Amino acid sequence: MTPFSDDDSFVLAVDLGTSGCKTALIDMQGNLLAWEFEEVPLKVLPGGGAEQNPDHWWSGLVASTQRIWTAHPRAAERVFAVCISSQGEGTVAVDRAGRVLAPAILSMDMRGGPIIRKHVRGWLNIAGYDVARLPRWIRLTGGAPALSGKDPAAHMLFIRETMPDVYRQTDKFLNVLDYMNYRLTGRLVATADSILTSWVTDNRRPDRIRYDATLLSRSGIDPNKFPEIVSCTDVLGPLTPEAARELGLPRTTPVVAGAIDTTAAAIGSGAIGDGQAHLYIGTSSWLAAHIPFKKTDIFSSIASVPCAVPDRYLMIALQTTAGGNLSYLKNNILYHQDELLKESSAPDIYKVLDQIAQRVPAGSRGLLYLPWLYGERTPVDDAHLRAGLFGLSLEHTREDVIRAFYEGVALNTRWMLPAVTKFLDRPLDKLRLIGGGALSSVWCQIFADVLDVPIQPTAQPQQANALGAWGMAVFGMKRLSFEEVAKRIAVGTTFDPTPSRRTLYDERFRTFLELHRRLKPIYHRAAKATL
């Protein structure tokens, strides 16, 4: 943390994720001056349900903010804006008085899957979608409702079908960000990116994202239940008296609309210029870059979508499980609690894993890991793929297994690079790295070697979303341009590819691709056998 002077002014920047609320105080130079976290409970339900109580989001923000003022009692009066980055693809139903009618349905929730799959089908279908309706979705929005049921298009239908009283009382359906902005300002609005996965907007002009009447009528949801759309950098107004009192801020403090996590992270990475890419490595991963055109590659599941930078889109290529593989290794294998092991974990377990992976030769002594713990999305959309170790022998130890996990995630990232560079129509000359994975120097080097691209972790990779909220706030308040924001995002040590490892990782990647080709039909047969 950086100390501050009496002349500093600040943004209260919020990163509201599934795990909890992280609140930061950031100055005009992009320095993180204070950082507090408040956990938010998650409720997992039978049948694929995942819910949170929106009041817990708000209380998490209040508690974390108050701890900042306790440590820095004079800072609140110098906050010139509040801005939130939040988890995306959640759904909150509120009535005319803004009261929450049911728990928030999160992006992990798949209970609406059967309903949305039935809803989007027709007499003739492509990949599960009505052939007559799919082109309009792709042309206007850039995508289509997820057949898994994980986005608001399915959540709203699930509420309509299974909670008719809630649906009847609903005045507006809000995403997570939208609900928090309502609590801050009293305004019921959606940002151009938070409304995206309702799949009812015309996104062909980035400066004029608007609802499409045909898509609204086909959504199955009353059009009046969708909120007004605003830009991510719009100033929504001052805090409500109640919000100002609870947060301990002046009543006149402005609120900038903010964005969902992928949009915010793109700003917080500092890779803001056209074609400048960043790679996020958290539980899941994505590779993204701002571009000046709208485009969809349905074959590789890559699209450019509305974002925070004016007159630009954000290309996003998502992969299902990245750092989640290390969490799985830690929780389910190395420290799974059963008769063999009673301890919960070792101290600094990920630092220990780094130390072990560092001393194993590149290539993991021939061991190769496929990181598809929960299927994959890019460059193939295949829910049936599963993880596995290939080449395991008596000569291998768990040290080799650990390094193979790191390399497997990097090889999986390389798998989507050809589709990404084709989409961008340019090669990647470097990659910013953000998320928890960027804290690992050994993983940064593995990514550089496997991708054959210099890797630049930001100086504060886990705070990328909060820095993104800061960037949107200072732009929205007309204090900095996005070019100036990018210059103030500090970068750590660059990791260059190791030329001597190129041939090795090329061979490893060929094996990776062949394993996918040969195992894919086996995975699909196994999935059918369990139905």
Looking at this protein, which amino acid is placed at residue 18?
T
- Has residue 263 been placed in a domain? no
pLDDT digit string (tens) for 398-414?
899 999 999 999 999 99
Looking at this protein, which amino acid is placed at residue 153?
A
- Has residue 369 been placed in a domain? yes
d(CA 447, CA 433): 10
Please give the angle made by the CA atoms of 60, 475 and 206, to the nearest 5 degrees. 100
- Has residue 242 been placed in a domain? no
Q: Can you give the pLDDT of all 531 residues of the chain as single tens digits?
A: 556 555 579 999 999 988 899 999 999 999 999 999 999 988 888 888 889 999 999 999 999 999 999 999 899 999 999 999 999 899 999 999 999 999 999 988 889 999 999 999 999 988 889 999 999 999 999 999 988 888 999 999 999 999 999 999 999 999 999 999 999 999 999 999 999 999 999 999 999 999 999 999 999 999 999 999 999 999 999 999 999 999 999 999 999 999 999 999 999 999 999 999 999 988 777 899 999 999 998 887 889 999 999 999 999 987 766 677 777 777 777 776 654 455 555 567 888 889 999 999 999 999 999 998 878 878 887 878 899 999 999 888 889 999 999 999 999 999 999 999 999 999 999 999 999 899 999 999 999 999 999 999 999 999 999 999 999 999 999 999 999 999 999 999 999 999 999 999 999 999 999 999 999 999 888 877 765
DSSP-based three-state secondary structure for 67: helix
Structure tokens at 147: 């057949």
Range of the domain at 406: 348-412+497-529
Which residues are registered as beta bridge partners of 458? 491
- Has residue 185 been placed in a domain? no
Give the pLDDT of residue 1.
Answer: 57
Q: What is the 3-state secondary structure (H, E, C) of 383-441?
A: CCCCCEEECCCCCCCHHHHHHHHHHHHHHHHHHHHHHHHHHHCCCCCCEEEECHHHHCH
- Has residue 435 been placed in a domain? no
Structure tokens at 174: 């809000």
- Has residue 458 been placed in a domain? no
CATH of the domain at 502: 3.30.420.40
- Has residue 360 been placed in a domain? yes
> In total, how many domains does the chain have?
1
Residues 6+ apart with CB under 8 A from 332: none
**DSSP secondary structure of 82-122:** EEEEE--S-BEEE-TT--B-SPEEPTT--TTHHHHHHHH--
Structure tokens at 229: 């759309």
Nearest by Cα to 317 from 431, 416, 397, 250:
416
pLDDT averaged over every residue in the chain = 91
Cα–Cα distance list, 326 to 225, 389, 457 (Å):
41, 14, 19
Give the pLDDT of residue 340.
Answer: 47
Give the pLDDT of residue 494.
Answer: 97
d(CA 112, CA 483): 41
Give the pLDDT of residue 337.
Answer: 62
Nearest by Cα to 323 from 365, 280, 356:
280
Give the pLDDT of residue 324.
Answer: 73
Give the pLDDT of residue 225.
Answer: 98
- Has residue 378 been placed in a domain? yes
Q: How many residues are listed for the chain in this entry? A: 531
Give the pLDDT of residue 347.
Answer: 62
